[in-house]
Amino acid sequence: MSSPTHANSYYAASANDKAIRPQLTGEHRCDVCVVGAGFTGISTALSLAEKGKRVIVVEGSRIGFGASGRNGGQIVNSFNRDIDYIFKNYGDNIGQKMAKMAFAGSELIRHRIEKYNIKCDLKHGNLFAACNKKQFEELKAKKALWEAHGHNELELLTASSIQDHIGSDRYAGGLLDKKGGHIQPLNLVLGQAKAFEALGGQIFEDSEVIRLEQGKLGKVVTKQGSVIADKIVVAGNAYMFGLLPEVEKKAMPCGTQVIATEPLPEEIQKQLLPTDHCVEDCNYLLDYYRLSGDGRLIYGGGTTYGARDPGKIESIIVPKMLKTYPMLKDAKIDFAWTGNFLLTMMRMPQVGKIGDNLYYAQGYSGHGVTNSHLMGEILSDAIDGEMERFDVFASMPQYQFPGGRLLRVPYTAVGAVYYNMRDKLGI
């Protein structure tokens, strides 16, 4: 039987580490067993290993197989729901504590890249691009909100000045976050996995977990082996199926599509993104794009609810790219891929503990690069007895989608149509 492979993406083609880890066989013993080798799982495992814990990671496919190795590669601060929403809906106590964590994920990523010398094409700065005047006013408010909570590396851009950063006339203005940035995401998770292994950690690939057992000790069971651990962390996100039904029904997998052009001439790169920042627009169904380390334009968007893989990714994304950059009409598309992220009802991460020894985190709702890294550190701290940040997330209600599994996709899709129309009308 052949080993599972990554999606046919630019990230997989340019991965620094193509080594295949062994399959789990026999019985193993450790302090913590982590299920899932994406950003959440590897961040948790690395943080635990730094504390001296014996950790085993069990992955059903390959390291970074899911969203961690397929996303837009953008380091975007805060949460899907911003700090003002959290204060309004969860109160001042939770709001103050969440505000202190809103920018921690990006700091942790940079710290790890520097500490472990991870080669992942790190570039600094991300741009929020307003498609209309209403969105521009919202960016003004975001700037004031983030500055009120200590983030002062922000610059508001007018319709004229944003063209110094984006070679397109689509936008009514924007906000530059100098603490944001972008990376080759698969190389980021692979680099952290290598650091984890250097600290004595073990990773098993092609080892789908078929059962979790709880008791005084936890047990993670695959077809070929098992791991007995004091604690278990479940970090499967959109690629977890059937292990924790009570957790899975609280979130919905959604698909997004990405393309990568051929490497572009340097003069074209300068026309597209003169300052080499990544970009996401402010629409509900947003576009996001950036230049790769070797000069390709990576362009994504086109959310599908229920994680249905579209038949022709290029037919969805190329028109979006050409609306922004008509000059790329003759550019060759070298890669096109899709991947799933996990959406929650309240668009906030879901974190919790089941019984005495099973922890989980999921549902970053499109802000997974930064939030997953933060969550790994928070889960590690909780396992080590430091519960303060974990308890903040765990205290927030976790709602199911209306209509359960049968109706959650159509209900959410109808909502997306409504917000998409609002975006187009600028209201």
Interval 374-383: pLDDT, tens: 999 999 999 9
In a domain, 415, yes or no: no
In a domain, 265, yes or no: yes
Q: Residue 223 is part of a domain; what is its CATH number?
A: 3.50.50.60
* Shared domain check, 267 and 235: no
Residue 416: the pLDDT is 44
pLDDT digits (tens, 9 = 90+) for 41-68: 999 999 999 999 999 999 999 999 999 9
- On whether the CB atoms of residues 423 and 285 are closer than 8 A, the answer is yes
Per-residue pLDDT band for 417 (boundaries 50, 70, 90) equals: very low
* Shared domain check, 42 and 108: yes
* Shared domain check, 102 and 14: yes
In a domain, 413, yes or no: no
* Shared domain check, 278 and 191: no
In a domain, 372, yes or no: yes
**Which residues have a Cβ under 8 Å from the Cβ of 179 and sit 6 or more positions away?**
77, 103, 106, 107, 151, 153
How large is the average pLDDT for residues 26-41? 98
* Shared domain check, 260 and 118: no
* Shared domain check, 91 and 32: yes
Burial annotation 272-307 (CB, 10 A radius, 16+ → b, else e): bbeebbbbbbbbeebbbbbbbeebbbbbbbbbbbeb
* Shared domain check, 262 and 142: yes
* Shared domain check, 257 and 243: no
* Shared domain check, 29 and 110: yes
How large is the average pLDDT for residues 333-358? 94
Parent domain of 212: 1-122+183-250+345-396
Per-residue pLDDT band for 411 (boundaries 50, 70, 90) equals: very low
Examine the pLDDT at 188 and tell me if it is beyond 70: yes
How large is the average pLDDT for residues 283-309? 86
Examine the pLDDT at 420 and tell me if it is beyond 50: no
In a domain, 414, yes or no: no
Average per-residue pLDDT for the chain? 92
Q: Which helix (H) or strand (E) holds 213?
A: strand 209-213
pLDDT digits (tens, 9 = 90+) for 223-237: 999 999 999 999 999
**Which residues have a Cβ under 8 Å from the Cβ of 155 and sit 6 or more positions away?**
175, 176, 178
- On whether the CB atoms of residues 222 and 210 are closer than 8 A, the answer is yes
Q: Residue 140 is part of a domain; what is its CATH number?
A: 3.30.9.10
Task: List the single range of 58-62, 285-289, 303-307 with lowest mean pLDDT.
Answer: 303-307
Residue 359: the pLDDT is 98
pLDDT digits (tens, 9 = 90+) for 127-156: 999 999 999 999 999 999 999 999 999 999
Closest CA to 30 of 63, 8, 52, 15: 52
* Shared domain check, 324 and 229: no
In a domain, 410, yes or no: no
* Residue 286 vs residue 312, higher pLDDT: 286
* Shared domain check, 331 and 189: no
Per-residue pLDDT band for 421 (boundaries 50, 70, 90) equals: very low
* Shared domain check, 338 and 198: no
In a domain, 409, yes or no: no
- Considering its fold, how many domains does the chain have in total? 2
CA atoms of 92 and 134, how far apart (whole Å): 27
Residue 121: the pLDDT is 98
3-state DSSP helix/strand/coil % of the chain, to nearest 5: 35, 25, 35
In a domain, 88, yes or no: yes
Examine the pLDDT at 175 and tell me if it is beyond 50: yes
